[in-house]
Amino acid sequence: MPAECPAPPPADLLAARVRDPYPYFAWLRRHAPAHVERRPGRPAVWQVSRYEDVRALLADPRLSKDPGRVAGYVPGPAGLNRHLVHADPPDHTRLRALVNTAFVPRRIALLKPFITEAAHRLLDRVENSAHIDVIADFAAPLTFRMICAILGVPQHLDNTGTRDTLMATIAPDKSTDQGRAERDLHDLLDALIAGKRSGQESGGVDLLGALVRAGDQSGAMSEEELRSTAYLLLLVGHDTTMNLIGNGMLALLHHPAETERLTAPQAGPGFVAGAVEELLRYDSPVRDATFRCAGESIHLHGQTIRAGEIVSLLIGSANRDGRRFADPDRLDLARTPGDHLAFGYGPHFCIGAALARLEGAVAFPLLLERLGPVQLAKPADELPWRPARVMRGLAALPLVRR
């Protein structure tokens, strides 16, 4: 492999990256498995695309999660990013330990009746509708409701307006102001934390209340870390699973034979769980791993990633790497892709993975059963994808009953 790729990526592949990144990823894996983008006045960004490299670097301590280590970094005002995703040990270890116990699989499994009931209620609302938007009518409210319940967010804040403000902080559209959304969410979280602290928003045992008490009693979290952690948990508990449901339903619509396998009477819980893993692999709800930069020089495919340069680990590409997965562009619900990287790998493995898996295992069979025969309400190439850097998810998935 030469030190520099023979030519820049084709313009048509670059232009289509939001709607369909997989041809671009395939080009990178073949021609430039460590591809650097350099722009004047900005730090270099390396794109790593092969499974073996992505998996290794996800757990490599030479990569830092601290934005302050980026070459030329200029700190901004205090915001919503002092959380475990942007922390190295020992801060990452401390912050993760505070939230870990709420997301262990055995505790998450107890939520299945609650998730199932909430899913049925949402589907009841569209039972007689000819047109359904899987995102707006089901995936968005279901996933937001679940993470609000875990955190202890009061019901009057569990609404579309709060969800829209949250999503505008990572993927603003032309009608939203990202800075304003961040300020509004900052204020909302401060008010929520104050309510937990005063006991007005106790609502029983909940994760945010527990974090507030831990911070107040032992100084385990600063106020900025507390606010940022609440933001992170709201975001990852909602966005990742919303994308899983939307991307997965679109994949099933494109593969009717696989849909029949999932709805067959013999498709028990084990098959459904495996199908969720394959849907996670096939069109990962997380396209690129969260922020990392090189803490020291790293040599990869004849090139040198210098300290302070950003490294983008392409999870969506790794999950379609034919070196690891046979016939990777084919959806096969009987596949056992237990080593996909949709939730990352290593110390920063997604803390909400168990919740996402359970919600997916509940959502897909119920959607297919309750909606009945459906088809896309518009051509697939006209579906709107949210232009987020890390996540991959549909802004809408409109269906019509047949």
Instruction: Please write the tens of the pLDDT for every residue from 163-176.
Output: 888 888 876 565 56
Q: For residue 1, what are the CA distances in angstroms to 4, 6, 13, 55? A: 8, 10, 21, 20
* Three-class DSSP labels, 16-79: CCCCCCHHHHHHHHHHCCEEEECCCCCCCEEEECCHHHHHHHHCCCCEECCHHHCCCCCCCCCC
pLDDT at 3: 45
Strand order of the β-sheet with 374-376 is 131-133, 398-401, 374-376
| Mean predicted confidence (pLDDT) in 364-378 | 95
Higher pLDDT, 6 or 361: 361
Domain positions in the chain are 11-401
Give yes or no for residue 240 having a pLDDT over 70: yes
SS3 of 80, please? Answer: coil
- Dihedrals φ, ψ of 399, to 5°? -125, 155
Q: Is 279 exposed, middle or buried (0-12, 13-18, 19+ CB in 10 A)?
A: buried
Asked if 244 contacts 285 with a C-beta cutoff of 8 angstroms, the reply is yes
- At 106, list the tokens: 């055995």
- pTM: predicted TM-score of the whole model, two decimal places: 0.92
- Of 353, 348, 349, give the one whose Cα is nearest residue 88: 348
Helices (H) and strands (E) in the chain, counts: 15, 10
Instruction: Please write the tens of the pLDDT for every residue from 201-232.
Output: 554 468 888 888 888 877 888 899 999 999 99
Instruction: Please write the tens of the pLDDT for every residue from 19-61.
Output: 999 999 999 999 999 999 998 888 899 999 999 999 999 999 9
CATH class entry, domain 11-401: mainly alpha
- Which of 200-209, 246-255, 257-266 has the weakest average pLDDT? 200-209
Give yes or no for residue 288 having a pLDDT over 50: yes
Residue 298: which pLDDT band, with cuts at 50, 70 and 90? Answer: very high
As a whole number, the mean pLDDT across the chain is: 90
- Of 377, 317, 325, give the one whose Cα is nearest residue 13: 317
